[in-house]
Amino acid sequence: MEKVERLISIIMILLKKDIVTTKEFAQLFNVSKRTILRDMETLSLSNIPIYSIHGIHGGYGIMDEYKVDKRLLSNSDLENILTALGGLGQILISEEVEVTIKKIEAMVSPLSPKGSIQLSFYDWEGRSEILQTLKICQESISKRKLVSFDYIDKNGTATNRIVEPYQLHFSEMSWYLKGFCLHRQGYRTFKLSRIDHLLMEEITFNPRVDSLGQEHGYQSESVSIKALISPSIKDQFIERYGRKSIENYSPDYLLATIRVPQNTNGFQFLASLGTNLEVVEPKAYVEEFRNYLNKMVAIYNENPN
């Protein structure tokens, strides 16, 4: 653990507890007592109101006035943060997230009731396999170092890329890396599951002026469609598109007006709903969707076994 992170952790612990001994801090951070003494001096010089108590029951504390003035988050606020981080931990599987969760847990009152919200995600094996890619990307972004990798796009075309990494983006079920591709001389978004042989180069880069404000193009064009849906999947449409997207149509069907990606991702989503959905407008999209489904059926017709 680096010194800055240790100092922040010390402050968080002292905000929660009254008195903590030098020995307790040394054991917690796996450093010497002398290191803890230097840390306390550093905090005092930084105008953090640390005080010490000598004797058997002595140790270090932080002025109560500082706790009252600076601790602006209530237990409810902290519980909400822990809930969000708990969900993030399930999709990121990051050591950094685990450390952050433990720091915030140390600030929550032990008398506080358990959180009323619980988040759960599918525990897919592929998520753990992508962890190393995430770590390399995070480190490269932090150190402002170029990354190189082989990339296979949705059409199966393989290319080698050298990229200035700027941001990791999680969308629904997938992780993406946003950055400036030196080969294409433009901003691109790369799906992590399509990246192979990822390396962090030793070459550093200076962030571009417009790097944070750029639209990186990971969103595809969409089209508005109308579809008859079974009441059994009404909840899925409410969660994704809201109640205003649905209106009554007949005793057996509802009419949904939604926007879907103008590509195979949209077809895949609609096909996943099976016989609970029938696209009715626009006619051109109905035809495209029908062709997509016919190609699927053709595969099984050609291979009956």
**pLDDT by 10s per residue, the chain, length 305:** 577 788 888 888 887 778 899 888 988 888 898 999 988 888 888 778 888 888 777 789 888 766 544 445 566 666 666 666 665 555 555 566 666 666 666 656 555 555 555 555 555 565 667 778 888 998 899 899 999 999 998 788 899 999 999 998 877 667 899 999 999 999 999 999 899 999 999 999 998 877 654 544 445 578 999 999 999 999 989 988 999 999 999 999 999 999 998 888 889 889 999 999 999 999 999 999 999 999 988 888 876 65
Triad 158, 156, 149: Cα angle to 5°: 30
Q: What is the CATH number of the domain that holds 187?
A: 2.30.30
Shared domain for 54 and 79, answered yes or no, is: no
Domain that holds residue 80: 75-105
Q: Which residue matches tokens 């653990």? A: 1
State residue 17's pLDDT score. Answer: 79
Residue type, 197: H
pLDDT at position 258: 94
Q: How high is the pLDDT of residue 146?
A: 97
Residue 116 belongs to a domain? no
Query: 265 lies in a domain?
Result: yes
Question: Which pLDDT score, from 0 to 100, does residue 287 have?
Answer: 94
Residues 63 and 81 in one domain: no
pLDDT score at 277: 94
Q: Is the peptide bond before 207 cis (omega within 30 degrees of 0)?
A: no
Query: In terms of domains, do 278 and 237 share one?
Result: yes
CATH number of the domain residue 21 falls in: 1.10.10.10
> What pLDDT is recorded for position 86?
61
- Asked if 40 and 49 count as a contact pair (C-beta separation under 8 A), the reply is no
Tell me, yes or no, whether 148 and 169 share the same domain.
Answer: yes
Phi-psi region of 237 (alpha: psi -120 to 50; beta: other; left: phi over 0): alpha
Structure tokens at 256: 């949904």
pLDDT computed for residue 247 by the predictor: 94
- Residue 127 structure tokens: 């998520």
Query: What local confidence, expressed as pLDDT, does residue 212 receive?
Result: 53
C-alpha to C-alpha distance for 42 and 57, rounded to whole angstroms: 23
Instruction: Give the H or E element holding residue 272.
Output: helix 264-272
Domain boundary among 23, 49, 70: 70
Same domain, 86 and 66: no
CATH of the domain at 275: 3.30.70
Is residue 75 within 8 A of residue 109, CB to CB? The reply is yes
pLDDT at residue 125, as a whole number = 60
Tokens of 143: 């150190």
Q: What is the pTM of this model?
A: 0.54
Residues 226 and 296 in one domain: yes
In a domain, 154, yes or no: yes
Quote the CA–CA distance of 216 and 2 in Å, as a whole number: 33
Residues 63 and 79 in one domain: no
Instruction: Give residues with Cβ within 8 angstroms of 151, minimum separation 6.
Output: 158, 159, 160, 161, 190, 194, 195, 196
Residue 177 included in any domain: yes
Tell me the residue length of the chain: 305
Domain boundary among 54, 84, 105: 105
Helix (H) or strand (E) holding 61: strand 59-62
Q: How many domains does the chain have?
A: 4
Q: Is residue 118 part of a domain?
A: no
Please state the separation of Cα 22 from the chain's center in Å.
36
Across the beta sheet with 186-191, what order do the strands follow? 186-191, 174-181, 158-171, 145-152, 195-204
Instruction: Look at the block and give the residue holding tokens 């170029």.
Output: 146
Q: Do 294 and 227 fall within a single domain?
A: yes
Rounded CA-CA distance 81/104 in Å is 8
DSSP state, 193?
A: G
Rounded Cα distance between 266 and 282, Å, is: 14
Token pair of 201, please?
């180069």
Radius of gyration of the chain (CA): 27
